Structure 1
């Protein structure tokens, strides 16, 4: 683990507006910036309520797919270039916001994803970038990374650049009220996983630890409430803040084994990212216990239970997820058991995340985690 004197850089949007009703100020902000041709990147569900943005002159790309791939990205870029926008607005969950980041830097650049993927290769934006999340999960609204699936390899391609940082993030918890209980549960666990994995990472930093523990505590306090009553505005606001804190954690520290093991579930078997993280979360938290026992105990306490060994961690974290109504068996999501070895190999190759897990995980150890998760 790192020490308090290690240099750390934190990047956040110049403007963050948080709270119920803040989305109503988007049109005025665009007018203040002289923006007249916004391009909205969204999904089919959120396009149906695009009026919440109160914009009458926007071009809309409403075909963002879950776990978007390179084809989906190229469609969005082509639509943006046809509309010659002066701003790109991400309106939706992490998929829409990640796609919006990439559209903003690729539009008019003459470049493709493979030209800019990896760290610090994206060109400066020629358009403004606005992020408006409608779920409380990814925290993508305040981050500099985007993930796109390459259909040729079925791997996620990560792109990171300060040019993909939004000019303004508008986090209005009221936009999350329509999220159904199952999605609320899954995205809430995703937000928590961002915080917990950063908190226990080999790159953990005391500055980020504060955000990570507060985000985890908020999930422990509010997630079950929001699942039981989607109209609980206080709970929705608490989860939106937790997702924001998770997004802050992703920039300087990022995730570790939990996300590495969840990615094949999405790319190979089309399991939603939040569900994939929930299925893996208890197992990785328990697997890491011996490497970071004190921090793991704090996480468990924030989630409402005590644990002083790996078995107790697995039991308590699994019970927390099941209390949200989540089926915690991989088998229930159509994952064939004979694919687990290939998934383990694929997850083990995601070194950008696994190299910073608090303990090394071999392919056989990852396979054991998948087998345990398969049974639930």
Structure 2
């Protein structure tokens, strides 16, 4: 926690936030060849970006993107040869956009760049335009896709995947349904909390995390209640962005490790997977980081407590009040899978080793069963 400890933080080169900023992308880019990575639900927003020149849209990204989605996008990119790649969507879209911008004109493939600092170059300029408030991928240098061979997430991290421009326009998020707003909002909150309570926590990142947590506490409920509340939508985009900044230098911990099997094995959307486990992981870690846990509870307007059971109950109640069905079973998980998922999550050491409290396979399984 000492300020003198070395840390590296990569940021987008340009950052636009506020209503109407999506339309500024075209003026920034000029008349260039632009490949937009999207999903069907966001592809219709392309005309709001003010793009000039030739535009190609690839909308074949799944909510939990696979390496096959990336391969298909790369085929389009290599045929189109873009000057600019735009990620127009949530974290899944923006992660694929990062990898496309880094790989379409490269001899490297996903296998060669998996892990930290293995990407050799950036092949195109990269713009990230967020349409949900959750992953904060627009602010980070990490991308995740699921391997169709192993069913595990493959993580790539490189400063070559930093956005040249990141745009947070609340107008693009106003049609996100309440259930998705709630789940992705808790994901944004969890990014901040897991970095804040991390064994690699740093004062610089702590302050980004605090801002993200406070913004979620102030605006998440409002955004769920009224999707047209521009201030709440902007506040949650900022909360998500700050969470994204936390991921590069510090990263997440057990909460995300435990969430991954729910997405890759049961098909539960990532934000919802994180939300289902958020209360249990925060309560488990509370004895190791009581002061920071207290800050989180206060920011969310929840009562102070040192009792893990009380912390779990109040935080789970907070999530349920957002409309989240706080049951893994109700969202498609099967009890017979829990032990195997626990072993898989425990093996994701790049995240589990960041946790402020050691967690055994049995303890992971107990958390799954408590959330089941």
Indicate whether the TM-score tops 0.5: yes
CA distance in 1, matches of 2:310, 2:3: 31
* 1:253-301 CA-partner distances (Å, limit 9, x unpaired): 0100000000000000111010000001000000001100111011011
Q: How far did 1:54 drift?
A: 2.5
CA distance in 2, matches of 1:308, 1:266: 31
* 1:77-122 CA-partner distances (Å, limit 9, x unpaired): 1111110111110000000000000001110112210011101001
**Does residue 1:84 correspond to 2:81, yes or no?**
yes
Match of 1:181 among 170, 178, 183: 178
CA distance in 2, matches of 1:97, 1:344: 28
> What residue is the counterpart of 2:47 in the other structure?
51
Q: How far did 1:308 drift?
A: 2.2
- Name whichever of 51-60 and 351-360 sits farther off: 51-60
Match of 1:274 among 271, 277, 280: 271
* 1:166-315 correspondence to structure 2 within 5 Å: 166-306=163-303, 307-315=305-313
**Does residue 1:41 correspond to 2:40, yes or no?**
no
Match of 1:360 among 358, 361, 371: 358
Q: How far did 1:251 drift?
A: 1.2
TM-score, normalization: structure 2?
A: 0.98
> What residue is the counterpart of 1:337 in the other structure?
335
TM-score, normalization: structure 1?
A: 0.97
Q: How far did 1:55 drift?
A: 2.4
> What residue is the counterpart of 1:22 in the other structure?
21
* 1:43-83 CA-partner distances (Å, limit 9, x unpaired): 01001232111325211101111110011110001111110
> What residue is the counterpart of 2:370 in the other structure?
372
> What residue is the counterpart of 1:102 in the other structure?
99
Moved over 6 A (4+): none
Point out where structure 2 has 5 or more consecutive residues left out of the alignment.
none
CA distance in 1, matches of 2:253, 2:265: 19
* 1:222-258 CA-partner distances (Å, limit 9, x unpaired): 1111111001111101101100110111111010000
> What residue is the counterpart of 1:60 in the other structure?
57
CA distance in 2, matches of 1:126, 1:328: 42
* 1:146-178 CA-partner distances (Å, limit 9, x unpaired): 001001111000000000001110111111111
Q: How far did 1:337 drift?
A: 0.4
8 Å contact from structure 2 (residues 287, 306) kept in 1: no
8 Å contact from structure 2 (residues 170, 234) kept in 1: yes
Match of 2:122 among 120, 125, 128: 125
- Name whichever of 50-59 and 85-94 sits farther off: 50-59
> What residue is the counterpart of 1:6 in the other structure?
5
Q: How far did 1:216 drift?
A: 0.6
* 1:314-353 CA-partner distances (Å, limit 9, x unpaired): 0111011001000000000111100000000000000000
CA distance in 2, matches of 1:253, 1:108: 30
> What residue is the counterpart of 1:348 in the other structure?
346
- Name whichever of 50-59 and 339-348 sits farther off: 50-59
Structure 1 vs Structure 2 CA RMSD: 0.8
Secondary structure in structure 2 of the residue aligned to 1:147: strand
